[in-house]
Structure 1
Amino acid sequence: MESSHAARRRHLPTSPFKPPSPAPPAKVFDVRDQVTHDKYGLGRVVEVEGAQAVLVDFGTQKVRIVAPFSRLFKL
C-alpha cells in the first residue's frame, strides 16, 4: 500500500549509501531577460507572474510558460 503523497526519505548516518542530492534551485527570470526554449527558440521575457509563470515574446508569438521551467534557459 502506497501513500498518496510523496514523502521525502530521511538519510540515516550509518547508511552505506550517499544521501540524496538537494533539489536544484528554482529558476528566476526578470523582465527583459533574453531566454531560449527548446521548442520556441530565442525570446525575451515580457511579464513575470511570481514564481508560477512567465510570458515570453518569441517574435512571432507570445507564450505563457508555467513552472517548472525545465525547457526554458536564461542566456
Structure 2
Amino acid sequence: MSITNDAVAALIQAHIPDAQVTIQGDGYKYEADVISDVFAGLNTLKRHQLVYAAVNDAITAGQLHALTIRAKTPAEVA
C-alpha cells in the first residue's frame, strides 16, 4: 500500500501552504524538493521536522517508507 507522488505533495502543501513541492518516487522511495519562506532562519533538522510533520500520518500508516528531503528557501534556490 503506497502513496502517489501527488498525494505526498498535497500533504506537504497542506502543512506548508506557500511551499513549492516537487516529489519523485516509485511507490517505496520518495524524494521531496520543498521550497518555502517558512524555512528562513531554520537549520536543516528543523526544516526536515516541518516536512516530516506533514507526512507523519502516511509514514505511520505504512504508505510512505523512505523520504529524502531537500528543504530550501526561495533565496537559496535563486
Instruction: Normalising by structure 2, report the TM-score.
Output: 0.29
As a proportion of its length, which structure holds more helix?
Answer: 2
Larger radius of gyration: 1
User: Larger relative CO (CA 8 A, sep 6+): 1 or 2?
Assistant: 2
